[in-house]
Structure 1
């Protein structure tokens, strides 16, 4: 045999050189971040990557980082920016990135307790802490997921089995939610084999919250028609307007009729940490399952969701499978293994990206940041109400502010004007706002959830809106 070589095991000197280059890149990015645009509409949209195909021979780290900066980190939304006020912004905590680095280098397999008891204990400790935040029992089942989509799939698959929904029952098994429920829930129903379930969109009030009386009436009507109501999905922070459904009243309706009660708190769940946020989530403890995303309310980088389910036994029955080659792991049962409570077997050690910043910052820092976001939303709402021509139809329940500009001239179509307005704001690039439709009206959204967003950011966004409205009205008349 030839003399062995180990090209995939760099020397300490080589590791140090590459790490130094990457650390310099990171520190430069963070130093420049306050002055970087929140959005860059690059014509090439990263296509330069295609001019550098995967090759047989290595590339120098400086050349690779230059490609990364030009083609990946510059175009599109700067998700790390405090000016990212579109969709539901979130993470980018530096200590969380260090947690990912540690997890990747040590490469612990956190799927089963036998393989990495400390890693599994850490993740379960985090889940028990989350359960305590929302009033769930300590022995609730849970899983750290890649996001709200997989978390929802775990919850709804468990609900399906708990309610004994078989294939023959699916066409008569009714689901109740609102038109503002996140689309990942429809996706989860379909993937879980429940795509043929009738879905009732329950009426909402003027603040886009589900009406419990309408829910109760819909269930009674379906029962009288011989159908099988089985699942109620409420929202604790809708994506469109940030609405929180009346969780207590909905929970009582679900209990009365024996339905599984799921709360999508992917966006709003961690506001339970904030003094003014916790009362808004009253009633979430009545749920059978809850989804909440650390990559939103705890500012962790993307790829961090969580699901909590009261019925631990049912969750295990839905997701647990045995294989002969895993027989060595059977004796280790002190902690529930993530692989037994979710579809995932191979998984990233996600707990470290959450545990490290919680330990190094302390929970109080997160509590203060979340309270600030709630205050900023109220501030933006109040300022928009005072700006001539702006309509703000929904009082923010959490940190999403929805609004539009109503042109004074009746000859200007409001929807067309606001479509132009959002494009002008995004093209400006200093802040990034998104849009949605409410009852056919084109609306702008200011979603405030980056830990780097503070009052000067909101003031800047409001100034840009005023400027762009003035410019558009002048050009429209011309």
Structure 2
């Protein structure tokens, strides 16, 4: 057995390279990363290929290792060289992601040091860091002192935490689900209904409230739906307004929603995954008035705070239902000191094997300061206004609703022919060119193009180029 252990140790030590081996790996990785960053300004925002990424199948997981430079070549060709370029300033589709250099360094350090961030006893510094970030977010969004939450892997997971918290706050049991009514805009994100299903509440009646001409939830229609459910003997339970819809960036009337939630005893869980971060600016705070009255809310730092993908936040002013939904005690876990004021993330989420993901936001905030983030967010709001004004001046363009935040939906018109097919053809041409990356959507049954201005590297020159390429594609195809 000792001989076998000696042989196995020699083999397993390959997993822990020494100083010289690490130096070669660092050098190669640095060269790859620096080449990627230097190429960013001219790199396409989207690369369209046949069977993208399929070449990885030619390199199955081997029994013996492959050279690191070869693996970087594979990464460049089959992963980083296809599809949407998530670091590009000309990524204007969907809700664009970002990837701050300092955030990537935070991710690297978190993975390298591998600090455990779910339980205070094991990772006190990592837990304090997450709670510091959550406290800062809560204050910026106007929530009261003592509000808490969790840094999840994204908005969908954060919504699941929020819905479970709202369920516990209302003391709902399985027998109640078919009567517990949920209210949201017809423009709401699909992940809300998905989270209800995952939480076991797929039977809960979901009321899609119609919107006004600016695609904002209509409060009078909401109140009528609540009253109809009360007359039917049902239980109005959850209101989910949206602070920045995916389609148009519309902000539901949050003040009116909060008034109705208070009047009828609903839990107000606001979806600010895209838009809530704009509360860091004066203009955004005005557009989001009422957000601070939410019982719980979601925002995605990997959207509006430019962190690498994989960071959503659930914030709530109600700690007890949050803990009731998620906290657990096991014999193998040491009891925390009675005077401990720090809340462990394991008490606020299903996750227990949680890494220090707060570092991907904490490090950029500490390094650059909040003022840089406020400036970047205000820039995106102004760029949306700028783009809208330019679209209004273009002949043959139906500009759509004025931007409430930083998303615009619009379309080009034809004197004759199918405008839906025409705008889809414009989008297909731009996607094939790859220089700028846009997306489309349907509003009132008609196809629209979308500009979503949020990536950290998106500046005026990128917006100008996108508009010029749109205009040229429309002229060519017309």
User: TM over 0.5: same fold?
Assistant: yes
8 Å Cα contact 1:209-1:246 kept in structure 2: yes
- Partners in 1 of 2:329 and 2:335 — Cα distance? 11
Within a 5 Å distance, the mapping from 1:68-83 to structure 2 comes to 68-83=75-90
Per-residue deviation, 1:332:
7.8
SS in 2 for 1:277: helix
Deviations along 1:377-420, one digit per CA (max 9) or x if unpaired, are 001101111111111121100000110111112xx111111111
Is 1:434 the counterpart of 2:439 in the alignment?
A: yes
Is 1:217 the counterpart of 2:259 in the alignment?
A: no
Deviations along 1:274-318, one digit per CA (max 9) or x if unpaired, are 221111111011110010110001000100100001110110011
Please report the TM-score for the alignment, with normalisation by the length of structure 1: 0.97
SS in 2 for 1:368: helix
Partner of 1:458: 463
Deviations along 1:184-236, one digit per CA (max 9) or x if unpaired, are 10111001111111111112110000111111111111101111111100000
Within a 5 Å distance, the mapping from 1:40-55 to structure 2 comes to 40-55=47-62
- Partners in 2 of 1:17 and 1:307 — Cα distance? 41
Per-residue deviation, 1:83:
0.5
Change (3 A) 1:157 1:381: same
8 Å Cα contact 1:114-1:332 kept in structure 2: no
SS in 1 for 2:94: coil
Per-residue deviation, 1:328:
5.0
Is 1:392 the counterpart of 2:399 in the alignment?
A: yes
Tell me which of 361, 368, 375 is aligned to 1:361. Answer: 368
Is 1:227 the counterpart of 2:237 in the alignment?
A: no
Per-residue deviation, 1:334:
2.8
8 Å Cα contact 2:240-2:268 kept in structure 1: yes
Partner of 2:206: 199
- Partners in 1 of 2:336 and 2:20 — Cα distance? 38
Within a 5 Å distance, the mapping from 1:226-305 to structure 2 comes to 226-305=233-312
Per-residue deviation, 1:331:
5.9
- Partners in 2 of 1:44 and 1:341 — Cα distance? 41
Is 1:90 the counterpart of 2:97 in the alignment?
A: yes
Unaligned runs of 5+ in 2: none
Unaligned runs of 5+ in 1: 474-478
SS in 2 for 1:229: strand
- Partners in 1 of 2:340 and 2:82 — Cα distance? 47
8 Å Cα contact 1:178-1:202 kept in structure 2: yes
Deviations along 1:85-112, one digit per CA (max 9) or x if unpaired, are 0000122000011111111111110001
SS in 2 for 1:235: coil
Tell me which of 430, 435, 441 is aligned to 1:425. Answer: 430
Tell me which of 376, 382, 387 is aligned to 2:383. Answer: 376
Partner of 2:448: 443
Partner of 2:351: 344
Per-residue deviation, 1:145:
0.6
- Partners in 2 of 1:441 and 1:128 — Cα distance? 42
8 Å Cα contact 2:274-2:299 kept in structure 1: yes
Partner of 2:33: 26
SS in 2 for 1:98: helix
- Partners in 1 of 2:41 and 2:413 — Cα distance? 32
Q: How many residues align?
A: 471
SS in 2 for 1:84: coil
8 Å Cα contact 1:170-1:196 kept in structure 2: yes
Per-residue deviation, 1:323:
1.2
8 Å Cα contact 2:400-2:408 kept in structure 1: no
Is 1:7 the counterpart of 2:11 in the alignment?
A: no
Is 1:126 the counterpart of 2:120 in the alignment?
A: no
Per-residue deviation, 1:329:
4.8
SS in 2 for 1:168: helix
Deviates more, 1:162-171 or 1:396-405: 162-171
Partner of 2:408: 401
8 Å Cα contact 2:92-2:439 kept in structure 1: yes
Deviations along 1:122-146, one digit per CA (max 9) or x if unpaired, are 1101100000011111211210011
SS in 1 for 2:14: coil
Partner of 1:414: 419
Is 1:184 the counterpart of 2:191 in the alignment?
A: yes
8 Å Cα contact 1:82-1:450 kept in structure 2: yes
Deviations along 1:141-199, one digit per CA (max 9) or x if unpaired, are 21001110010000001101111222112111111101111111011100111111111
Change (3 A) 1:342 1:332: farther
Partner of 2:124: 117
- Partners in 2 of 1:430 and 1:153 — Cα distance? 36
Question: Cα RMSD between the aligned structures?
Answer: 1.1
